[in-house]
Structure 1
Amino acid sequence: MSKSPAKLHPPFRAEHVGSLIRPRPLFDKRCELEEGKCTVEDLKEVENDAVKHVVELQRSLGIRSITDGEVKKASFYDGVFEKLDGMVFMPERPIHEFKRYLPHIALLYAAGKPSDATFYCNGKIRRTKPFYVEEFKAIKRVVPPEEVKNIKINMCPPSWWHHRHGSDLAYDRNVYSNDDEFFDDLGAAYRAEFAELYELGCRNIQLDDPTFAFFCYEPTLSGMREAGVDPEKLLDTYIRSINVCTKDRPTDLRIGLHMCRGNYKGLHFCEGGYDAIAEKVFTGLDVDTLYLEFDDERSGSFDPLKFVPLNKMVVLGLVTSKNPKLENIEDLKRRVDEAATAMSSGDSIRSKEVALNQLCLSPQCGFASVWQGNPVTEEDEKKKLALIVETAKQIWGSDSD
């Protein structure tokens, strides 16, 4: 465990994870796109209006970490791999080339789907065009200059397509002979993106990573072993994949990682607490902030928090984004207290007060990881975000760092 909090970058006490319900005009236009009644170009003006809308929504509620709600994406993982040289889109890859031990892939098998869309690496990976530079500029245009430093950009993890196909089918072996070579070039592309965003004023980036939660889910682990995959070795690979992206970053660039258990129209894909991975992942990841889901019984206990180093913040996802039921503020305060207690247990160098200072509050996941959203309305979303802000104020005295 780290002994020094020197690199601690506290995020705002009240956060939201990233994606927000699409405003109705954008939702309707997306429906038109799906029906072939408009083009992607037709979306742009509606998307820009939606960015203004969700930015004002966040600011009006007191959320100081501002995103564009990912409203310009169809899904949370859009915007990276389709822009990389060396990655090719495959609209119909045979289903037998997907790893059946993954719960979301198992559903495709069960549904009898013969194929699914994916990406494949058939050449050297290079970043020749930006991922989210234009998205950052769009948010920057609609916030006051003094708030530019509060803008947060969300992006999918480097392992997103790799995990679907594994080390044997994710890339051409004539291009990369092993995972390290593949992720080294992918990491260089991410670092170049981080650097360009930083030059524009970005100081907060969040990687939304569902892959780590699979290593907490026993059916997936047993499926890996049956398929001849070593879960511990693959876990090490995915930790390294993050670290090659985040290395050598500026000291004032905050990188967070959200460990998601799946969020598709309000549905999750896996269960299990962080116990199985906590020590290795919490200490081994070179990130400043861990966004962790603790919204219901499938999330496990707070006990794994004792492995969080002193130089990392934890954003507790205690408010569910999957249904409209509004949480109780006293329950939230009690659970934050329980988390601080667990975080300081068995650790003589961290008091409960220190632990509490390492905690923040958020929804467990975004409200719309895909454009169709979760079974909540914008009004439900606003009530939950307002509750988070008020709870943070009552616990820490402020929603800011």
Structure 2
Amino acid sequence: MSAKPPFRADHVGSFLRPKALLDARAQFKEGAIDAAALRAVEDSAIRDVVKFQEDLGLKGITDGEFRRTYFHTDFLLQLDGVEEAGGTQVKFHQHGGKELEYAPPVMKIAGKVEHARDIQRADFDFLASVTSATPKVTIPSPTMLHFRGGRDAIDATAYPDLDQFYDDLAAAYRAEIASLADAGCRYLQLDDTNLAYLCDETQRENAKRRGMDPDELPKLYAKIINDSIRDKPADMTVCVHLCRGNFRSSWAAEGGYEPVAEVLFNALNVDGYFLEYDDPRSGDFAPLRHVPKGKTVVLGLVTTKLGELESKDDVKRRIDEAAKFMPLEQAALSPQCGFSSTVHGNDVSMGQQADKLKLVIDVARDVWGEI
């Protein structure tokens, strides 16, 4: 598995933004610098974060999502027909019982969804030009345009029939993936909070209130994702990352993978899964019994939400527990999520971020003899 992704020691993708980048973003927002000046700062920061990853020994390299404010909206808003429509107030939870009030942006479908322009290609081209390892592109799952708003967020004039919306959405993703494939991208990750939210009883009830059946949604979402990636090159690895929310070290959902496991592992035509497993809110490993041969599960056993470093022995013991339900050869290791899914970043330091990744690499070497 080390020759192609996902790698034994891997990561989700986002990294803490350096101060120079945050300052430049603030200056751009105030009109003090133009887009070209901001991009130059982004380029410099990306070169540095690429070197950081390569020096650690990682084989899959991202741009840290340094050009984004949110992991999803910066991409989705570049599709024709998609608009931002405020936010939905959510209580995010932190370790220690603290709560954060936060309103994640909600996407609204105001017209026909179309892929009118390349979205990630220029960013991929730059990343590929500054790394000798495998460049990975992370984009939001197409399901992110459905779950939070449902039928009410999709203009009925543009889409009286929701099946046409699903078809157009998948077609737009196919066009973007074709663009990335043409540029040479062979490692793609879809970030999906919705399949994980469907493991949470409160989120399932919220879906019902929006007129959706939480038992049917996993099947619908598997179909949308499968339709989106169906024309990918045979040598392109596509993984999906399931996340229960990652904002300033807090989360929005809890619950084990059992409600979605069978569909997730057997109906979804992806190569691998990045799964959160850093604490009890993600449930036990029993759902991994559904993993078929030929697919890889990257176990997110090292948290990005807390700076305290896990012990190697504890991580290895949990890998052993997971191996009771799926072959060890089909497993890999990563942090549970990105370190900065939004520009705000989690409550960890740059040094702690590095230590977490070193731990992942060290454990992977000990367990599999490779990274």
Is TM-score (shorter-chain normalized) higher than 0.5? yes
* Aligned match of 1:164: 148
Deviates more, 1:360-369 or 1:235-244: 235-244
What is the SS of the residue equivalent to 1:276?
coil
Residues 138-287 of structure 1 mapped to structure 2, 5 A cutoff = 138-144=126-132, 147=133, 150-166=134-150, 168-226=151-209, 228-287=211-270
Q: Does 1:135 align with 2:130?
A: no
Relative to structure 1, the CA distance from residue 65 to residue 218 in structure 2 (aligned partners, 3 Å threshold; closer, same or farther) is same
- Alpha-carbon shift at residue 39 of structure 1 (Å): 4.6
Deviations 1:7-42 (A, max 9, x none): x96521000100001122112223444566545443
State the distance in 2 between where 1:25 and 1:103 align.
31
Deviations 1:228-276 (A, max 9, x none): 4321222322222211111132211100000001000110001111011
Read off the aligned partner of 1:49 and give its amino acid letter: S
Read off the aligned partner of 1:362 and give its amino acid letter: S
1:71 maps to which of 47, 51, 66:
66
Residues 38-117 of structure 1 mapped to structure 2, 5 A cutoff = 38-90=33-85, 92=86
Q: Identity over aligned residues, as a percent? A: 40
Residues 30-41 of structure 1 mapped to structure 2, 5 A cutoff = 30-33=25-28, 37-41=32-36
- Alpha-carbon shift at residue 223 of structure 1 (Å): 3.3
State the distance in 2 between where 1:228 and 1:38 align.
45
State the distance in 2 between where 1:275 and 1:126 align.
34
RMSD: 2.3
- Alpha-carbon shift at residue 312 of structure 1 (Å): 1.1
* Aligned match of 1:391: 363
State the distance in 2 between where 1:249 and 1:223 align.
34
Relative to structure 1, the CA distance from residue 82 to residue 227 in structure 2 (aligned partners, 3 Å threshold; closer, same or farther) is closer
- Alpha-carbon shift at residue 195 of structure 1 (Å): 1.3
Relative to structure 1, the CA distance from residue 89 to residue 225 in structure 2 (aligned partners, 3 Å threshold; closer, same or farther) is closer
Relative to structure 1, the CA distance from residue 153 to residue 235 in structure 2 (aligned partners, 3 Å threshold; closer, same or farther) is same
Read off the aligned partner of 1:296 and give its amino acid letter: D
> What are the ranges of 5 or more consecutive residues in structure 1 without an aligned counterpart?
105-109, 344-354
Q: Does 1:309 align with 2:292?
A: yes
* Aligned match of 2:22: 27
Answer with 1 or 2: which has the greater Rg: 1
2:107 maps to which of 115, 119, 137:
119
Deviations 1:345-367 (A, max 9, x none): xxxxxxxxxx1110000000000
- Alpha-carbon shift at residue 111 of structure 1 (Å): 6.4
What is the SS of the residue equivalent to 2:254?
coil
Relative to structure 1, the CA distance from residue 117 to residue 324 in structure 2 (aligned partners, 3 Å threshold; closer, same or farther) is closer
* Aligned match of 1:373: 345
Relative to structure 1, the CA distance from residue 112 to residue 300 in structure 2 (aligned partners, 3 Å threshold; closer, same or farther) is closer
What is the SS of the residue equivalent to 1:342?
coil
Read off the aligned partner of 1:388 and give its amino acid letter: V
State the distance in 2 between where 1:273 and 1:35 align.
43
Normalising by structure 2, report the TM-score.
0.91
Greater RCO (CA < 8 Å, at least 6 residues apart): 1
Relative to structure 1, the CA distance from residue 330 to residue 196 in structure 2 (aligned partners, 3 Å threshold; closer, same or farther) is same
State the distance in 2 between where 1:103 and 1:241 align.
28
Deviations 1:348-397 (A, max 9, x none): xxxxxxx1110000000000011121011111111110111111011111
What is the SS of the residue equivalent to 2:240?
strand
Normalising by structure 1, report the TM-score.
0.85
How many aligned positions are there?
Answer: 363
Relative to structure 1, the CA distance from residue 117 to residue 305 in structure 2 (aligned partners, 3 Å threshold; closer, same or farther) is closer
What is the SS of the residue equivalent to 1:208?
strand
Deviations 1:268-321 (A, max 9, x none): 001111011111222111111111000001111000000011121100000000
